[in-house]
């Protein structure tokens, strides 16, 4: 029997693809759409299969078409942070490498066995994800690469002010209130614009009466804003999200635009992503991280909460960059230091009793001196922040020796000489039976009980915010 001639494969020429190549094939099911950018994989998967070690052509019926006009174009701004795309400076915000300016492949296929068939592609099919800048990619997947940026509040919110029919969702951090409340927001967005106050991160609070807490928030915020409602939410646990959807869905169904506004690190972007999960919206949301200044520009969120209302022209939802507030010490902390300062679990109050002539340090950030009477100090914040009690006469020596170390006075970490020095911020005078609270900008808060005087020291004498007694 003469030897069998070798099987030759027909030459398959790749089609001329546009910048966004989309190929259609009907191998798995009629007119099933798939996105392929690797032509070698296309020939390997669709052009042949391996049988008995010999290559045999499967079929010539696999139809290849050029992209249609429905191929989604690349947006001009990053959907993760809102920064305009640029291809020049990798160290600047919005950088997108030119090789990444085309949509990503929808199939990651590497033939490993000779028995690979087209059926193995079924679980690997997925819709293309939108392009994000290199900074957002590093934040989402590697938790690095953040370039801090704080926008001009007046310039950013000027577009919100001119919108006649709009609602403001003012997001605040309940652990960092009122330091996370933006002063003068009414002048920036319009004093008559309705504002819904959203107290986020409520899962971090100790046991507290929610109704009285909401009343205290509203009482403080109404001093400068047109507050119409107060809601408590948690983007982490989902608490209060359905109440928020029920509150803003009728507003959006009327065609009213909603703007999420807040200072840095209050969790606006995390709240948007949580709302998307609650409503079943499978759309990648804004980039989130524990570092302030993650969002750069105003980002429109493809989130429609009016499905039940069947609104034909629902209002849009926008996420805005976190605004800078001068009361938060977190602006001066590194990534590693923020992990120690920002609480991630429910806060457990830590109480310390001071006699006259004793000092309490909260890390290397705050210092409290009891002057003439015994008192009780309760700290509400991260459990990773060390509390150190010592004699006041030795406080300066201990601070100079241990601040910036890894034991009793941190953060800062390893940069005590470059960090802001502690200076006298205020003197608290307590009457018998009185309770006073002070907000520690971005860190938490402390309460004093007793009588006498307490000297409070903070970095550069700032980052201390007096507040009403919210926790009883």
Q: Which two tokens stand for residue 319?
A: 């996420």
**Is residue 86 within 8 Å of residue 154, measured between CB atoms?**
no
**Cα(251)–Cα(255) distance, integer angstroms:** 7
Peptide bond into 187 cis (omega under 30): no
**Is residue 91 within 8 Å of residue 147, measured between CB atoms?**
yes
- How high is the pLDDT of residue 255? 87
The sign of the CA dihedral 406, 412, 414, 417 is negative
Nearest partner of 319 among 373, 402, 262, judged by Cα: 262
Query: pTM for this structure?
Result: 0.68
- How high is the pLDDT of residue 8? 52
DSSP assigned state of 263: B
Beta bridge partners of 200: 173
Burial of 377 (0-12, 13-18, 19+ CB in 10 A): buried
**Cα(305)–Cα(314) distance, integer angstroms:** 9
Return the number of other C-beta atoms located less than 10 Å from residue 240's C-beta.
20
- The 10 Å CB-count burial string (b at 16+, else e) for 298-329 is bbebebbbbeeeebeebbbbbbbbbbbbebbb
Peptide bond into 178 cis (omega under 30): yes
* Mean pLDDT (10-residue bins), the chain, 472 residues: 55 42 34 37 39 39 38 64 77 72 47 48 52 74 58 71 83 91 85 91 89 88 88 93 92 89 87 84 57 63 69 78 86 89 93 96 96 94 95 95 90 91 94 91 93 94 87 63
Structural domains of the chain in order of their starting residue, each with its CATH number: 153-325 (3.40.50.300), 335-467 (no CATH)
The answer for residues whose C-beta is within 8 angstroms of residue 296's C-beta and 6 or more apart is 78, 81, 82, 83, 93, 94, 149, 151, 321
**Cα(414)–Cα(412) distance, integer angstroms:** 6
**Cα(18)–Cα(22) distance, integer angstroms:** 9
Please name the helix (run of DSSP H) or strand (run of DSSP E) that holds residue 351, with its range, or none: strand 350-354
**Is residue 330 within 8 Å of residue 342, measured between CB atoms?**
yes
Return the number of other C-beta atoms located less than 10 Å from residue 216's C-beta.
21
- How high is the pLDDT of residue 79? 75
């Amino acid at each position: 029997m003469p030897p069998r001639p070798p099987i030759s494969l027909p030459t398959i020429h790749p089609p001329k693809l546009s910048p966004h190549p989309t190929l259609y094939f009907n191998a798995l099911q009629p007119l099933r759409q798939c996105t392929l950018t690797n032509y070698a994989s296309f020939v390997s998967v669709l052009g042949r299969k391996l049988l008995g070690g010999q290559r045999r052509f499967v079929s010539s019926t696999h139809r290849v078409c050029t992209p249609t006009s429905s191929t989604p174009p690349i947006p001009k701004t990053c959907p993760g942070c809102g920064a305009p795309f640029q291809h020049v400076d990798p160290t600047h915000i919005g950088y997108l490498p030119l090789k990444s300016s085309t949509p990503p492949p929808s199939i990651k296929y590497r033939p490993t066995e000779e028995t690979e068939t087209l059926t193995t592609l079924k679980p690997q099919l997925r819709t293309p994800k939108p392009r994000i800048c290199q900074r957002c990619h590093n934040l989402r997947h590697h938790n690095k690469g953040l370039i801090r940026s704080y926008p001009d509040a007046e310039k950013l919110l000027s577009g919100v002010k001119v919108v006649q029919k709009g609602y403001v969702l003012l997001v605040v951090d309940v652990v960092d209130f009122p330091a996370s409340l933006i002063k003068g927001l009414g002048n920036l967005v319009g004093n008559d614009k309705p504002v819904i106050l959203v107290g986020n991160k409520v899962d971090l609070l100790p046991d507290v009466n929610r109704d009285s807490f909401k009343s205290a928030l509203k009482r403080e915020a109404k001093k400068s804003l047109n507050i119409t409602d107060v809601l408590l939410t948690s983007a982490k646990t989902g608490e209060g999200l359905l109440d928020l959807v029920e509150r803003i869905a009728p507003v959006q169904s009327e065609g009213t635009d909603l703007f999420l506004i807040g200072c840095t690190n209050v969790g606006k972007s995390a709240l948007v992503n949580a709302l998307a999960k609650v409503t079943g919206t499978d759309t990648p949301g804004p980039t989130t991280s524990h570092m302030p200044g993650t969002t750069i520009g105003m980002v429109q969120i493809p989130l429609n909460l009016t499905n039940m209302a069947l609104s034909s022209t629902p209002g849009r939802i926008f996420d805005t960059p976190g605004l800078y507030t001068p009361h938060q010490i977190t602006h001066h902390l590194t990534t590693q230091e923020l992990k120690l300062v920002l609480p991630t679990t429910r806060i457990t109050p830590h109480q310390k009793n001071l006699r006259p002539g004793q000092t309490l340090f909260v890390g290397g950030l705050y210092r409290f001196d009891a002057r003439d009477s015994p008192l009780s100090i309760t700290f509400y914040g991260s459990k990773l922040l060390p509390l150190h009690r010592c004699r006041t006469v030795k406080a300066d020596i201990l601070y100079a020796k241990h601040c910036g170390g890894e034991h009793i006075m941190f953060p800062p970490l390893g940069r005590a000489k470059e960090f802001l020095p502690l200076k006298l911020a205020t003197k608290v005078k307590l009457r018998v039976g009185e309770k006073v609270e002070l907000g520690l900008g971005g860190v938490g808060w402390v309460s004093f009980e007793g009588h006498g005087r307490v000297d409070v020291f903070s970095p550069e004498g700032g980052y201390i915010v007096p507040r009403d007694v919210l926790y009883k």
